[in-house]
Structure 1
Amino acid sequence: MMDSQEKTLEMGNQEEMNKVESTPVTAAEPATEGETPQVATEETEAEAAAEPEYKKHYATKKEVLDRVREIAHNEEAPAKDEVDYLKTVFYKLHIAEREANLKSYIDAGGDPESYQIAPDEDEEAFKAEMGIIKEKRAKIFKEQEEEKEANLKKKLDIIEKIKAMVTSPEEANKSYQEFKALQQEWKEIKNVPAAKANELWRNYQLYVEQFYDMLKLNSEAREYDFKKNQEIKLRLCEAAEKLAEEPDVISAFHQLQKLHQEYRETGPVAKELREEIWARFKAASTVINKRHQQHFEQLRAKEEDNLARKTALCEKVEAIAAEENKGASDWEKHTKAIIEIQAEWKTIGFAPQKMNVKIFERFRAACDDFFGRKAEYFKTLKETFKANAEKKRALVEKAKALQDSTEWRSTSDKLIALQKEWKKIGMVPKKTGDQLWAEFLGACNHFFEARNAANSGQRSEEHANLDKKRAVIEKLKAINAETEGNVQEMVQKLVEEYNSIGHVPYKEKDKVYDEYHAAIDKLYKELNISVAQRRLNNFKNKLKSVAEQGESALDNERARLMRQYETLKSEVQTYENNLGFLNASSKKGNSLIDEMNRKVQKLKDDMNLLREKIKAIDAENK
């Protein structure tokens, strides 16, 4: 029977042994046609990370398709890992090709909403070959399961035969050769259903050891058998211990499974060595199992870190997509930022399997939302550009129709109005905009150059007129109350000369106008005071001769002066009323007001003179 300590050790190591027995090499179910290939288990992900031989580089879809055809039509059993890898590579190349075609279409000016994906013969051929592989793998899987069931039945039959030998101790020696044949047959039978493997092995081991314990062989044969088994198990211990140096953790774990299988199939050793050898084998196995466990813990931690990084990238894209885009520059700036994030995404490995698809769908949804709205914006912008181009093209035609006109002032106003209207029109594509602007500017320049050439002589005449008006102003400034001759007549001639001079340059018009009226106003003021004083003195000198004619003569003169005063007063009121109705918004209107103000002032000066004369008469009457 199995030693009680070995049984205890076996039970204590059950969890590790279950890992070995529960993971036989089988053909997994083929992936569903059309679904995205993914790493199905932790082990396959780790094997992918180790870059096995089948993970060669494929540059084109045709290369992948050729390998798939080879697998589909040869006699080898399709390896699930390679088939999944080929499917992933094919669709990666397929999607990249499709996106490149879409980009080329858009860059060529195509409408993204009108784009249609063309049928792909390579994809159809790929699906057909994958269907063959799927059927092939399903058939192999079924055959393997049937073979496992048959192997189970065979091994159960062997256990029953050994069990029968154990119940007949007296026949044990005679049955020894049959027993060894059954052991060899057991080794030659391969996989059984994983669910039955542990229990099957325990029953087999139980009856094998019971047979050995009651076997009445001579000590030499018994010791030889034990020694042979000991050599095998020590070799297995050494092989298991050496696996600790294997850099490939996954390979070491799979090799350990094979060592455990061989260990189980090897017969017992001497009772006193069973615990020691098993403990050694178990210790070596524990090292490999711990490395295997730590590897997947690190892998899971890395996947969690990848999930956190991908979640952060999703949040960045969502934040960018939520920002307002005020113009094409904003769209391009945000596009560049999202493309950089997409490039960073590609450098991050898998997230945990249950979240890998979800996080990608979230990322893709945020990107699709942004680029969908961008496409709509530029579609609208394109229509706006087209409308703006038509408006500018119409202005070009109007400008060309006016470019040969010789009506300088009215045409200048029209072209200036067209230029203002041009500025109000929005943007157009640069190439079209440059062409239209060149045509529009050319028409405007053609007209203004012709106008400037025609007006060059006029400008010379205006500068000459300016010099003449300034000469008149200097003559007015030189006149004063002491000037000999008839001052009023001199001033009147200069005023007439000034008014007869033509236009001056537009920029100098206001300045010379102000200088002229300043000189006139000052001169009139000085002359009115001087003349009025001389008149009053002459009147006073003549007043005595009038008084000699009698008192009635002075009264008559006073009455005459009063009538003149009232007449002047009435004229002043009329002028002042009229001034209230004049508009001084223009230079012409302002000039008229200045002239009337001077007349009013002259009338008021005359009224003051009349008052002084009346006062002189009143003084003489006293």
Structure 2
Amino acid sequence: MSENDNLQEADGKKEVESQETTPTQETTTEVEAKTETEVEQDVNTQSEEVVHTEETVETNSETEQVEAEEKPEAENTSEDHVDEIEASNAEDAEDESNAERHELEDKDYHAMTMDQLVTEFNKLLKHHKIQTISKHVNEIKGEFNAKFSELLDEKKEEFVADGGNEIDFYYTNDQKKLFNSLYKEYKQSINAYYKDREQNLKQNLENRLAIIEEIKGLLTVEENMGTTYKTFKELQEKWRNAGPIPRDKYNNAWNTYHHHVERFYDFLHLNNDLRDMDFKHNYDQKLKIIERAEELAKDENTNRSFRELQVLHKLWKEELGPVGKEHREEIWERFSKATKTIHDKRQAYYADMDKAHEKNLERKEEIIAQINAVNEDSANSHSAWQKKIKTIEKLREDFFNAGKVPIKVNEATWTKFKDAVRTFNRSKNHFYKDLKKDQYENLKKKKELIKIAEDNKDSEDFKTVTPLMKKIQSDWKKIGHVPRRDSDKIWKQFKAACNHYFDRMHKERKAKDQHLYDAFDKKVKLLDDLKALELTDDPKADIKTLQDKISEWKDIGYVPQNKRYIDGKFYKAIDDAFDKLKMDKSKLEMIKFDSKLENLANPDDTRLLDNEQNFIRKKISEVQGEITQLENNLQFFSNVDSDNPLVKDVHKNIANHKKQLDTWKAKLTKVRGKYS
């Protein structure tokens, strides 16, 4: 078993089963790798060992003083909109790549197939820093495992339905192997990153605490104030460049820093010019920050405005120092107000998103109901089940494309969906299990027909065996489907045996009836000659020529049964030739009829003549009826002059019909003469 297969066994076979509780629950066990949360906890624990320096430097009363003096009263009041920003910035303080994390596009992983999820995972690993993709990786992992779990259930059902023992079931595929490989690569990289970052965070915290100590030490330095101020500025620059620290130490470290910065400015009262210059600079910059925050409060893109607001708060806290006491409360309240506006719009945005999730839930409930309706519909044929399978596949696709649902019902909705699909798969597998039994019975029957065909394929008793071979061919069509893997093989075997027999039979018959095939060849040549015949201007001579052709054709004799179509072609060519003659149409009609009778006459079989005689009698009856009707119509014109155009037209029509009647009677006489 390969390394990927081992991963599959640990990550797929055992843990995917436990995943049924929720599609976003992590199921893959990575024994050798700590989770991101565990690493962060380790960092925080080890960082606490470092912060003892700070705790020894500051007394409890001093800490309380920091909390009281760092901000004015309004700024110290607990405000949700400010707390949210500070919490986000505290998280960012631990990872300077957080900005890139925010820029990653949010995608609907729920709607993606396993192939698409693996592709997205691979893109994240190749094109982004490892520490910026954890949120996306966790979403991809949850969705992939959920879909693989569903596939695993389906394959297990099929395995058991085919007679397998559940304890022997094992399944993996290329998608799962590739996903496991990518996830292993991710865990190794993220663990290496956190291990390295742990040391950096620890060292950065020590550096920042040392800077605070140096700022505190400036209050006791007896030297030129300009020199002290320059040293203070250098320490501030060092602080800005000191790098990220553990998030749980962020606010405490910054509050302590700001506290001692303000104490230094109080110490600077001996040189108000330097202090006032800094206060003015900070005031001007904070006004610009406020103005930008107020602009962001009007932006409809809440996520974008919130991310930029984080940056503004970070600048306010990390880059700028205090302002004059007379301005502190005023500018903070203004900044806080803009922050609250953005916060409220963001909360409204999430409320709208919750409503959208509720609509998604309704849609998913409808889809589940439709799947259950399909489950209740009975189907007893392969075609009906194939139609149901396509319907369920479409509903599954619709379910994943319907979007996210509220977190509180996510697990329950997923469970109901899986149960509905599982019920369908069980019914489907049960049907095809029974169908396979029937197919194996059909296979047995068709193999029996193959044996009959092969036992008789070399028989010389054509009279007896031919009906038998035709019967088993008919029986074959009635038996029905066999297992797909056997279908082509047994059909080729059966077809080969039947073809072998009938090829022998046809060859035998052709040899026996060679004179018929020779006659056919002669008739083909005679037909070609007739089509190439050029008539003269002498109708009598042309009639004689055509009659000779008819006699020659008849003298050639019979052709094989399947070649008798050539007679129809010949007499059609004869009729076409007669039509080209320049003579009275009624005489021509009788001459053509004579040629037709030559074809119909057969002393051994009078059926064709009988049919022709019945046809002519019918036509005689029809023409007589039409004449009678026309003569009755004349009675309506008893008082009309005989020169009336309408009356003349009726008399002309009667004359034409009587002429047709004479022709048909003459034909009947000729047909009767052929019986003698």
Is the Cα–Cα contact under 8 Å of residues 75 and 333 in structure 2 kept in the other structure?
Answer: no
SS of the residue 1:216 aligns to: helix
Q: Pick one of 383, 391, 407 that aligns with 2:437.
A: 383
The answer to whether 1:260 aligns with 2:283 is: no
Q: Which has the larger radius of gyration?
A: 1
| 1:194 aligned partner | 247
Instruction: Map 1:370-409 onto structure 2 (within 5 A).
Output: 370-387=424-441
Matched residue type, 1:186: W
The answer to whether 1:20 aligns with 2:85 is: yes
Q: Pick one of 342, 345, 356 that aligns with 2:399.
A: 345
Distance 1:345 1:166 in 2: 67
| 1:296 aligned partner | 350
Aligned length: 408
Percent sequence identity over matched residues? 25
Residue deviations 1:100-143 (CA, integer Å, cap 9, x gap): xx9xxx9xxx98979986763x7546534542332221222233
Distance 1:117 1:308 in 2: 34
Gaps of 5+ in 1: 29-42, 406-417, 440-456, 458-622
Gaps of 5+ in 2: 1-64, 465-470, 499-603, 605-676
Deviates more, 1:200-209 or 1:221-230: 200-209
Greater RCO (Cα-Cα under 8 Å, separation 6 or more): 2
SS of the residue 2:375 aligns to: helix
C-alpha displacement of 1:363: 1.7
Distance 1:199 1:337 in 2: 59
| 1:285 aligned partner | 339
C-alpha displacement of 1:377: 1.3
Distance 1:362 1:195 in 2: 40
C-alpha displacement of 1:314: 2.3
| 1:150 aligned partner | 203
C-alpha displacement of 1:329: 5.5
Distance 2:233 2:389 in 1: 75
Q: Pick one of 150, 175, 183 that aligns with 2:236.
A: 183
What do you get for the CA RMSD once the two structures are aligned?
Answer: 5.8
| 2:282 aligned partner | 229
C-alpha displacement of 1:258: 1.8
Q: Pick one of 296, 314, 320 that aligns with 2:368.
A: 314
Is the Cα–Cα contact under 8 Å of residues 69 and 129 in structure 1 kept in the other structure?
Answer: no
Residue deviations 1:164-210 (CA, integer Å, cap 9, x gap): 54578999776333333322222222332222322332333233223
Distance 2:271 2:449 in 1: 121
Is the Cα–Cα contact under 8 Å of residues 47 and 250 in structure 1 kept in the other structure?
Answer: no
Q: 1:391 to 1:162 in 2, by over 3 A?
A: closer
Under a length normalisation based on structure 2, what TM-score does the superposition of the two structures give? 0.47
Q: 1:119 to 1:320 in 2, by over 3 A?
A: closer
C-alpha displacement of 1:263: 0.5
Q: 1:326 to 1:112 in 2, by over 3 A?
A: same
Instruction: Map 1:22-171 onto structure 2 (within 5 A).
Output: 22-23=87-88, 24-25=91-92, 48-49=105-106, 65=122, 68=125, 77-81=130-134, 84=137, 120=174, 124=177, 127-166=180-219
Is the Cα–Cα contact under 8 Å of residues 211 and 235 in structure 2 kept in the other structure?
Answer: yes
Q: 1:147 to 1:19 in 2, by over 3 A?
A: farther
Is the Cα–Cα contact under 8 Å of residues 201 and 246 in structure 2 kept in the other structure?
Answer: yes
Distance 2:481 2:176 in 1: 42
Distance 2:391 2:178 in 1: 38
Q: Pick one of 318, 324, 334 that aligns with 1:270.
A: 324
Matched residue type, 2:74: L
Deviates more, 1:268-277 or 1:209-218: 209-218
C-alpha displacement of 1:384: 1.8
Residue deviations 1:230-255 (CA, integer Å, cap 9, x gap): 12111211222232354542232222
Is the Cα–Cα contact under 8 Å of residues 50 and 248 in structure 1 kept in the other structure?
Answer: no
Distance 2:402 2:256 in 1: 49
Distance 1:288 1:153 in 2: 35
Distance 1:259 1:157 in 2: 27
Distance 2:142 2:395 in 1: 22
Distance 1:321 1:274 in 2: 69
Distance 1:282 1:165 in 2: 33
| 2:672 aligned partner | none
C-alpha displacement of 1:13: 5.0
Distance 1:22 1:61 in 2: 33
